[in-house]
Chains A and B, each alone.
Chain A
Amino acid sequence: MLTIKCPWCGEREQIEFTAGGEAHIARPENTAELSDEEWGAYIYTRTNPKGVHYERWVHSHGCGKWFNAVRHTVTDIFWDVYKIGEEKPAVPEDWDGATTRAQYQAATQKTAAPDGNEK
């Protein structure tokens, strides 16, 4: 049972959401001109990564809106969520999937600050 942050409604339980698979797979414009391979790639081929996954969710039992999320497929921790149409957020290469974007940035700032009272 994950906690998922809807970009509008905030953090809610997973049972309010439906997963929508990999994000940023645009429907081709001129479908008639595509080869079988190109069309097949659009409907079947997915990256299925171990690690950073850009994916879609819909808050089906909440506001009903679709949004995108970045989840680490090993830890199930979300880097962040973003609205449809917003730019795909870059994930730092050293992200180990153990923190959210906010936690990662807070930790980075703390390390950078000379008087940071890191425990």
Chain B
Amino acid sequence: MSEKKHPDNKERVGVYVCHCGTNISKVVDVEEVARWAGEQPNVEVSRDYKFMCSSLGQELIEQDIKEKGLTRVVCASCSPHMHEKTFRTACERGGLNPFLFEMTNIREHDSWITDDKEAATIKAKSLVRGSIDRVVHHEPLDQIPVEINPNTLVVGGGIAGITSALELADAGYHVYLVEREPSIGGHMAQLDKTFPTLDCSACILTPKMVDVGQHDNITLLTWSEVEQVDGFLGNFTITVRKKARYVNEEHCTGCGICIEKCPFNVVDDIFEAGMGTRKVIYRPFPQAVPKYPVIDKENCVYFQKGKCKACEIFCPTEPNSIDFEQEDEILQIEVGNIILATGYDLFDVKRIPQYGYGKLENVFTSLEFERMVNAAGPTDGKIVLRDQETKPKSVAIVHCVGSRDENYHKYCSKVCCMYSLKFAHLVHERIPDAEIYDCYIDMRTPGKGYEEFYNRLLEEGTHFIRGKVAEITDAARIPEEEGKLIVQVEDTLIGRQRRVPVDMVILSPAMEAREGSKEVSQLFKMGCDFDGFFIERHPKLDPVATMTDGILIAGACQGPKDVPESVSQGAAAAARVAGLISRGTVMMEPVRASIDQDACSGCRICNNMCPYNAIIFHEEENVSEVITALCQGCGTCVAACPSSVITGAHFTNDQLLSQIEGILWDMRPEKVTA
């Protein structure tokens, strides 16, 4: 009864079982696993140790390689994400090719997911046996150096993207900043004041916007969208659609006469949040960067009916800057890294009908209120009801609209408590005798100077009601309620339902992932979570990287964030990119596919499947070939090849099948009969 044919008994495997303090050992009997492993085929030495990742643990591996002549190493410990690199380096120091090492995860995959000690120990043995049987088939490999293109793509021109772009540009690297709106600035450009210091949002943002517009190292592509992403870390090729502005940027001086002369107004749903209007040829706001206007084709009378051309008639430049014939441009950009800073959307408050938005006219959203209190906004900063003139005598602010709610978004949207407090302050400031009711579930003000700001509002006399608003209605029951909006809420600190009559209600909706964020994550081949936010490589230790090398994230596209946090993350992403650029080359995993040219039937099935376009076809020889420099080792072609002649290095059939058989060691027929 022979063990399954092992290629040779010459390999000498060292097995190291880690306690991870008590993380593993409190559930898995690590001594037993190590003892048992010592009895397995090809195992030369087997040990358990408190912390394999410690210097002493690593030295254990090094010594055994040197003294016992180990040719293969297996470490049963945590996730390869944590320490694969550590142990590979230890092997290398001991004189062993780092790819002759295999890591087994008996923590995340075993001890952390059960309390059943017996079952956990059995599973650990199976996993270890799988690794032992796999590692003997490993082959020495060399890492592949990849050159980093020093240019960077930043997607999204809000405060996070602006920060990333400026950091890199100031460091001397070229940046392409792509923004889909006509101007950079993002949501921050719409705000009036920023909490908790109340500095004017535009005053602190516009200098940075100007810097971006004038920087020699920044190519600004507004009114543009990324359409395709090819390549990988160090060598991406990006296809960008630069939408037709119908304004020639080379000739336009940004004088704005065309805007002034355009006879048609439309409601501005984007920048003014529906609170104000703009012309059909427009700049979203006076400080827009770039200064060039854009024609809104859907609403332009010339485009729709063939008449008007007022903008062209009054354009003073020579040659004329208005160009009705302009077409979308498709650009190709070569970059080494990508920073995604695509921002957020606000939760659609109409999804909560009991709050009456759209039906009760004096219910406003936060963004509407931001535009209203903005001195440059549609009411010149006056707080008024929808009739544009009546000052509210009482205002209610509703927290957690669509957040902390399993019916909508489970997460806490993080910034709403603070901006709601800011709103309360602004009402106190502009209408000193107004009564303000702030309805919150829990007041969350963690941040420098944030709790102090809450204290300030307590002093200013805001009426705080601890309770999530149940409904807003205009159905009055008593004379005091007539003609008012009634906010119905339990004041949980008193334990009574209250009906608070007010003139105006401001809803504070959650920040949510951008519409289409799932498609964006697919475009860039990285992950987004259930809520649509992009997933970071590690929630604590690597919040700017993603699981895809060369693609980084910054700002609210990763999760709700305020301005300071977005700025920090934007700068951090830039620092990471700058580090890679200055290194020049990075070493990549040698996990690559290769095609056995003699056996290839030339069916070309693999050609179109490769997501990296790394497979070429030689017509005359009728065979396909993988370009190693382009291959990312995803394995798609390996699985697809009908002749099984494509091999993925480090994931060969021998290796994988041996591992599976190893894991199922106690299920083999001969074992059952024995």
Asked whether A and B interact, the reply is no
